[in-house]
């Protein structure tokens, strides 16, 4: 191998990369600590970026339909931002205003229904013991050392008083820290939304200054794909939650079951968690109705699974699945992986993230398949190669079931193939 300037440069880079990997492997614990400290410092700004992304979805639509101002008007962006903030705050206030009286009424009803429920349980237990006297004899033979239990409780309270005081102070500090973090993030989000075009130009200029043009173009394409996918998923998930909550409210009202409005709103909120969220509403609804009438709880359970089947087979795949271009099986995989790694937040993030990776991998596979077919049919003539190329590209078109439109590299290769005709 000839040791010219380029070869020496590559060897030097390989040695440097090896040294960095070895040092990072030896000191990985310190690297994790440094990464955790940096994440803690930048968390308010990460939160602000997430808030800005969520608010940008309705703000963009409001700004697009605000035709009374000119396109270059300086009032258009601030007014659309203020309207978006009031819209989101109004929805939260309306839901709170609707749910809070229902919760108060529910707890008042539970106050009177819980004693009746336990009285019924006690009567049923007495009937059971009367039918099976050996059970009552067995329970009478069970010895419980109440004095030892009382001593253990007193010792726990003595040792736990200081811990409880420290926990109270820690909880107060955490609340103050959380509120301040949210305020910093919210202010940062407002700055991002007011200057998003300027920030976009600055980031693109920075990438052009330090990266090759082809790399910059690819980064911009992937970023645009990610933004479209996350926005579509957020919109589809909210629409699906509203549809599901409305379905439950109408169905429970027609069946004259109690707590129809409360359960409908609760399921609409929990349905924002993909696939598994509505089951939280099922548990709460069954508990509430069980205190009123066990038959109502059974009817509600049957109604829930019927509506869940309708939502899972007819609504979710078309409203959310097609909006992110991810087949149903991979939606389930994404929700499972995200939930096991990051909890509820992981469930919400992993579906659009897997959709982006799925689209990029699909485009790369199509590109490699096209190149391989063009090389294989090079001797057979260009007509055969063009036909095979078109069939590969057709597999990623919007009309294909469970597929999103091809983006990025596949489209560029398609254009290259047309030029070769």
* pLDDT at site 410: 38
Question: Looking at the domain assignment, is residue 191 inside a domain?
Answer: yes
Structural domain boundaries enclosing 137: 44-92+129-210
What is the length of the chain? Answer: 421
Determine, yes or no, domain membership for 134.
Answer: yes
The verdict on residue 37 lying in a domain is: no
Q: Domains in the chain: how many in total?
A: 1
Check residue 403 and give its pLDDT: 43
Q: Let me know if residue 168 belongs to a domain.
A: yes
Structural domain includes residue 19: no
The Cα 373–Cα 403 span in angstroms is 22
Q: How far is CA 216 from CA 203, 205, 387, 415, in A?
A: 10, 9, 32, 20
Domain for residue 292, yes or no?
A: no
Residue 330 domain-assigned (yes or no):
no
User: 290: burial class by Cβ within 10 Å (0-12, 13-18, 19+)?
Assistant: middle
First vs last Cα of the chain: how many Å apart?
41
pTM: 0.65
What pLDDT was estimated at residue 312?
73
pLDDT at 293: 79
Task: Assess if residue 202 is contained within a domain.
Answer: yes
Supply the pLDDT for residue 408.
41
Per-residue pLDDT of the chain (421 residues; tens, 9 = 90+): 566 777 777 788 888 888 888 888 888 888 888 888 898 888 888 888 888 888 888 888 888 887 777 667 778 888 888 999 998 888 888 777 777 777 777 777 766 666 666 667 667 777 776 776 766 666 666 566 666 777 777 676 666 555 655 666 676 787 888 888 889 989 999 999 888 888 888 988 998 888 888 888 888 888 888 888 888 888 888 888 888 888 999 999 998 888 888 888 888 888 877 767 778 888 888 888 877 778 888 999 999 999 888 877 777 766 665 666 677 677 778 878 877 777 777 777 887 888 888 888 888 888 888 888 877 765 555 555 555 555 555 555 444 444 444 444 334 434 444 444 3
How is 147-187 classified by DSSP, letter by letter?
A: HHHHHHHHHHHHHHHHHHHHHHHHHHHHHHHHHHHHHHHHH
């Amino acid at each position: 191998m000839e040791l010219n300037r380029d070869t020496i440069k590559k060897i030097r880079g390989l040695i440097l990369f090896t040294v960095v990997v070895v040092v990072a492997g030896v000191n990985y614990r310190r690297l994790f600590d440094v990464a955790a400290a940096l994440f803690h410092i930048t968390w308010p700004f990460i939160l602000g970026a997430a808030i800005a992304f969520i608010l940008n979805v309705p703000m963009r639509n409001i700004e697009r339909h605000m035709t009374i101002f000119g396109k270059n008007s300086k009032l258009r962006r601030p007014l659309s931002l203020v309207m978006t903030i009031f819209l989101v705050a109004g929805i939260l206030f309306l839901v709170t205003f609707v749910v809070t009286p229902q919760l108060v009424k529910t707890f008042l009803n539970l106050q009177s229904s819980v004693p009746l429920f336990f009285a019924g349980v006690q009567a049923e237990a007495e009937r059971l013991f009367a039918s099976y006297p050996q059970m009552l004899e067995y329970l009478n033979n069970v010895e419980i050392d109440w004095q030892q239990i009382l001593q253990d409780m007193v010792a726990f309270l003595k040792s736990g008083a200081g811990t409880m005081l420290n926990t109270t102070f820690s909880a107060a500090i955490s609340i103050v820290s959380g509120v301040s973090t949210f305020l910093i993030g919210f202010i940062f989000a407002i700055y991002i939304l007011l200057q998003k075009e300027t920030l976009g130009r600055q980031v693109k200029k920075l990438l052009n200054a330090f990266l090759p043009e082809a790399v910059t173009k690819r980064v911009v394409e992937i970023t645009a794909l990610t933004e479209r996918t996350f926005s579509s998923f957020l919109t589809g998930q909210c629409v699906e939650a509203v549809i599901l909550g409305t379905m439950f409210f109408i169905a429970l009202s027609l069946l004259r079951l109690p707590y129809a409005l409360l359960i409908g709103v609760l399921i609409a909120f929990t349905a924002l968690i993909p696939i598994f969220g509505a089951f939280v509403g099922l548990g709460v609804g069954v508990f509430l109705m069980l205190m009123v009438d066990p038959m109502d709880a059974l009817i509600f359970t049957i109604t829930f699974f019927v509506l869940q089947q309708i939502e899972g087979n007819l609504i979710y795949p078309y409203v959310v699945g097609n909006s992110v271009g991810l087949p149903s099986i991979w939606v389930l995989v994404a929700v499972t992986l995200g939930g096991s790694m990051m909890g509820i937040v992981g469930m919400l993030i992993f579906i659009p993230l897997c959709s982006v990776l799925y689209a990029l991998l699909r485009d790369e596979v199509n590109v490699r398949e096209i190149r391989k077919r063009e090389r294989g049919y090079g001797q057979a003539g260009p007509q055969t190669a063009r036909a095979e190329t078109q069939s590969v590209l057709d597999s990623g078109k919007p009309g294909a079931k469970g597929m999103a439109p091809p983006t990025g590299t596949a489209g560029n290769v398609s254009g290259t193939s047309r030029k070769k005709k």
